[in-house]
Amino acid sequence: MTAPRSVPGLGERVHLIGIGGAGMSGIARILLARGKQVSGSDAKPSRAVDALRVQGARIAVGQDAANLGLLDGGPSAVIVSTAIKESNPELVAARRLGLTVLHRAEALAALMAGYRVACVAGTHGKTSTTSMLTVALQHCRLDPSFAIGGDLNESGANAHQGSGEIFVAEADESDGSFLAFAPRVAVVTNVEPDHLDHHGTAEAYTAVFDQFVKRIEPGGLLVACADDPGSAALADRAESAGVRVRRYGRSAVDVQLLGYEPSGNGGVARISLAGEEVELPVAVPGEHMALNATAALLAGLALGAPLSGLLEGIAAFGGVRRRFEFKGRSSGVRVYDDYAHHPAEVAAQLRAVRPVSGSGRLVVIFQPHLYSRTRLFAKEFGEALSLADDVVVLDVFGAREEPEPGVSGKLIADAVTAPVHYEPSFERLPGLVAGLAGDGDLVITMGAGDVTMLGPEILAELDRR
């Protein structure tokens, strides 16, 4: 397939505010591959910004109305994410000039035009599932285009302009923007209340998934996890409304997970597919990853890919950056980094990591993400983190939120029943962790904020000792 050069609503020159972000950088990468002129700005330098510059994007660090002039003739359209405030000087200037302003999801939907689209949604697991599906389709030599919220370990990229007819995308429910998409195949891994700072109530959060399912093309397919109550209920409602549904999980009829055994740093799942027992090797640990792999397999089959190629691709999937990513080893201590930032994600990852830790202790360094999430789920975070042998809790990474009086990482630390340390100082963390971990232990830094920077510092401190 030859990629369509025209992208509805975008024109030939596109400016992205916050171009270094996970979603925005992927869109920029695809626009450049389609021959568009791309400019952008970001608050700070990053690996993503450097990579886009190499590909031809003109990028300023810092945000200023003058950045709209980075391209000769100025931009034909400006792309923003929910994180960009209306007071941003570049957005203010774009509106004053009457330029077309599109949300990130609207731009991505425009890039999908003309493709068979698969979207993966869910409170947890969508990045890993989207990535597994992408790699599996690549192994089937279908060369899909893709846009994912994390970098594939195989390619180091979060997006790609493929030569095939399929477009795979991670669908973000956090702000409801995934309602811009109209997929042929939609995967919903689970539905648990989250992002209540935007949606307000658990009921509103659930309702947006119902709206997403209504966006599936006529004759399309919903792939849903039968083991998750929220996803299972969504599937029942969708089926009653006439949507074709295939379910997966231990309690599913369509594709049943018969068993899962840890193996090395991954595991092997046994599934029942069309009356046959199939072995599904997964190179990343945890039964939750085996479920994600099953979802990817079902979606791939619905897109017409062969079973043998999909199984081969899933077995070869090497993970996603910041999803149980190995950072190094020092003094017999292995250090990993993970993006888990919801209680269910934290619990699932710690259960998955336990067999990998062997006879060593499991030490987790957790950074809460968002004041509202910390306040709402402190008890649940405490229960999840108590699955570790030793816990260090940092202060809250506020991201887009202003601090709330009385809300800090201590709320979570107080709810942990395992040995716990509340340490708000980044400077003291490496020394504290190096003192806790010994030969054979596994350390994992966890959270959606800048806790990811600590891995190398912990390893350096272990080297010094």
pLDDT value, residue 153: 45
Report whether 285 contacts 233 (CB < 8 A): no
Tell me the pLDDT of the chain (465 aa) as tens digits: 555 545 667 889 999 999 988 789 999 999 999 999 999 999 888 888 998 998 999 999 999 999 999 999 999 999 998 888 899 999 999 999 999 999 999 999 999 999 999 999 998 888 889 989 999 999 899 999 999 875 554 445 789 999 999 999 999 887 778 899 999 999 999 998 776 676 678 888 899 999 999 999 999 999 999 999 999 999 999 999 999 999 999 988 899 999 998 887 788 999 999 889 999 998 888 888 899 999 999 999 999 999 999 999 998 886 666 667 888 888 889 898 988 888 988 888 898 888 877 788 999 999 999 899 899 899 999 999 999 999 999 999 887 788 999 999 999 999 999 999 999 888 888 889 888 888 989 999 999 888 888 888 988 888 887
Q: For 190-219, give one letter per residue: b (16+ CB within 10 A) or e.
A: bbbbbbbbbbeeeeebbebbeebbebbeee
Map out the domains of the chain with their CATH numbers. 13-103 (3.40.50.720), 114-316 (3.40.1190.10), 325-464 (3.90.190.20)
E strand or H helix at 258:
strand 255-263
What kind and span of H or E run contains 221?
strand 221-225
Element (H, E) at 302: helix 287-302
307 is written with which tokens?
């079973």
Which pLDDT belongs to residue 402? 86
Reported in sequence order, the residue ranges of 297-357 that DSSP labels E, i.e. its strands, are 325-330, 333-338
Give the HSE-up count for residue 198: Cα atoms under 13 Å, Cβ half-sphere: 16
Distances from the Cα of 263 to the Cαs of 133, 227, 272, 281, 461, in angstroms?
21, 23, 20, 9, 31
Question: pTM of the entire structure?
Answer: 0.75
Tell me which residue of 425, 419, 402, 422 sits closest to 411, measured CA to CA: 422
What angle (nearest 5°) sits at the alpha carbon of residue 204, between those of residues 199 and 205?
A: 70
Q: Which two tokens stand for residue 388?
A: 């570790």
SS3 40: strand
Q: Give the span between the Cα atoms of 317 and 133, in whole angstroms.
A: 9
Q: Check residue 5 and give its pLDDT.
A: 46
What pLDDT is stored for residue 398 in this prediction?
86
Q: What is the CA angle 178-184-187, rounded to 5?
A: 60
Rounded CA gap, 356 and 372, in Å?
Answer: 32
CA angle at 45 for the pair 40 and 46, rounded to the nearest 5° = 95
C-alpha of 271 from chain center:
25
Q: Is residue 338 within 8 Å of residue 350, measured between CB atoms? A: no
Tokens 């888990």 locate to 340
Residues annotated as catalytic are: 126-127, 170
Q: What is the pLDDT of residue 455?
A: 86
Which residue(s) pair with 373 in the sheet?
none
